[in-house]
Amino acid sequence: MDCNISGLTYDISGTAGLYSTLAGVLAGVAFLAITLVLSRAQSQQESHSKPTPRELATNVRLLLALGTAFLALIIAAIQYAIMSGERGCSLLEGRAASEELLAGVSFAFSVLLLLYAIVQMVTYSGIPRVGGHLRLLLAVLGPPFVILLLMLGLEDLAYTPWRFAGLDELYKPQNTSYVKFVDWASLVIPLAVLICCLAIWIGGRRRRRSAQSETNALDLAFPYVALILAVGASVRTAMLSEANAASRIGTLEAWVWVAVCILVLLLQTVLLSFERGVDPPTAGSSVFLRSDA
């Protein structure tokens, strides 16, 4: 079958190589951050200074988040590298669009893990207020932005398989009621996620400003959940048949991926919003400084 792709106004495989390069660069950043954390811990051991339990817990969080982000970014780089090789009918039948959605899951959560580690690092650095602002950006604005990117991939998948126009021998994207619904949902769902994240953030305000700090065991679970999503998306990509350009994920499965991602993103917002003792009760309060000491 000779697929005429001259009607494409945007080649999703053309940008995949750039995404693969970006993911590789970010993986290098994560690896560098890991070495810095390990160097700091080794320096403390050589100086015979005993780290506090809070410092130990912080190092565990940082290394876990950075390590899983490093692995997830490598997975995302491989997925985008595979996607960059898609040509011809796969761009019209849906295989490339399926890979776009799945690679978006891996890339989005790997970047979120890296940002999550940066937020943890800044929060426990002892610099007041800055950590709170970064937590706000990641907890409230991060999830709706990720869902918006995933919905764009879902839109590209809804356009497939492209239909044969006939007269001009070109293929055109689907223009069905489902496509119009996805176009509408791609704006409404991120907005709904934004409202939910903002409500969660406001609800956790008192707990964040508590003078008593604590280590939440769920903080250790989030990196594993995000990494499992990235690995699952990679495995699902490998299951798509390279010999069949029409090999794609179904409509129901695509929405399941989006729904699971929304739940995990809301979990991250809850963790960042309800962590006790990470914001000062008042600006410059000595209580906050003592809790970080």
Block means of pLDDT (10 residues each) for the chain, 293 residues, are: 72 87 93 86 67 70 89 93 86 89 93 87 72 86 93 91 72 87 95 95 82 63 90 92 86 95 92 75 41 36
Angle between helices 16-46 and 95-123 (to 10 degrees): 30
Give the model's pLDDT for residue 133. 83
Q: Is the dihedral of CA 208, 122, 135, 219 positive or negative?
A: negative
Is 246 part of a structural domain of the chain? yes
Sequence-distant (≥ 6) Cβ neighbours of residue 43 within 8 angstroms: none
Q: How many CA atoms lie within 13 A of 267 on its CB side?
A: 20
Alpha carbons 185 and 62: distance in angstroms, whole number: 35
Phi, psi of 168 (to 5 degrees): -95, 10
Cα separation, 154 vs 283, whole angstroms: 43
Domain span at residue 182 reads: 10-292
Number of domains in the chain: 1
98, 100, 26: which is closest to 247 by C-alpha? 98
Q: What 3-state class would DSSP assign to 121?
A: helix
**What is the DSSP-derived secondary structure letter of residue 5?**
G
Strands (E), 128-212: 163-164, 171-172
Count CB neighbours of 36 within 10 A.
Answer: 13
Residue 99 domain flag: yes
In a domain, 159, yes or no: yes
pLDDT recorded at residue 286: 38
Assigned domain for 169 exists: yes
Give the strand pairing for 171-172 and 163-164.
antiparallel
- For residues 64 and 116, is the Cβ–Cβ distance under 8 A? no
The answer to whether residue 5 sits within a structural domain is no
In one letter, which amino acid is 118? I
Token digits for 244? 């069949």
Assess if residue 138 is contained within a domain.
yes
Cα gap 50→23, rounded to integer Å: 36
Chain center to CA of 135 = 15
Q: What is the pLDDT of residue 277?
A: 64
CA distance 46 to 38: 12
**Any domain includes 1:** no
Element counts in the chain: helices (H) and strands (E): 11, 2
pLDDT score at 197? 95
- 108 within domain boundaries: yes
The token pair at 221 is 């679970």
- pTM, to two decimals: 0.84
The pLDDT value recorded for residue 62 is: 85
| Joined tokens for residue 101 | 């959605």
